[in-house]
Amino acid sequence: MRTALILAASALLMLTSVLEGEHPSKKSADRWTPPKFAKVMGYRFKLPTDGLEGPVKSGFTLMKNDGLDTKQLESLQTNSAELTRAQVQQLTAALSSGKLTYPAACYDPHHIFVFYDAQGKPTGAIEVCFACTGVSTDPPLGKSLWYRQDFIRLARLVDALGLWHEYRTVAKYEALMNERAKE
């Protein structure tokens, strides 16, 4: 009886830490661990240069040295969706896929996932550029995770949330990524 109670308490403790955004099953160096959070929102946003003609400067980001630029996100967002706990797990798992990716030189992200505390304050973020297969996170990714994201899984998640809206479908994006993997 006592053993059963200890096992039940341990299981409850592990479940509680997962629901609070912690992942006790892996070393933190091997995965990006989100901060404690109450909810996670995914956003599709436009770049300030979207729609301009001619060459435009690449490298826009909502991630600043002092954290997420929430005012700019508010003005640039075009769509948003709240993630379920299962989708948050899919998101964090896609950040630590182990597969090496080779990003392009550009960085023009149109998607960001923001982790909020119970008071609505951002506690972390994951910004994604599907064009160059680049990400920026706060807190930063550990060196062991650099260039190791599963962009197909990220694209499927973004599509399931209704935030895709890229110039190609997710199926075409997946085919392109699979073709690149063969090279």
Query: Hey, what amino acid is at 27?
Result: K
Residue 20 DSSP code: T
Sorted by where each begins, the domain ranges of the chain are: 27-182
- Torsions phi, psi of 21, nearest 5? 95, 5
Query: Hey, what amino acid is at 99?
Result: K
Query: Hey, what amino acid is at 76?
Result: L
Which two three-digit tokens encode residue 39? 């909810």
> From the centroid of its chain, how far is CA 80?
14
Q: What is the pTM of this model?
A: 0.79
> From the centroid of its chain, how far is CA 155?
10
Question: What is the residue-level pLDDT of the chain in tens, covering all 183 positions?
Answer: 433 333 333 333 333 333 333 333 344 455 688 888 999 999 999 988 887 777 777 889 999 887 899 999 999 999 999 999 999 999 999 988 767 776 677 888 999 999 999 999 999 999 999 988 888 898 888 776 777 789 999 999 999 999 998 778 999 999 988 887 777
Residue 164 DSSP code: -
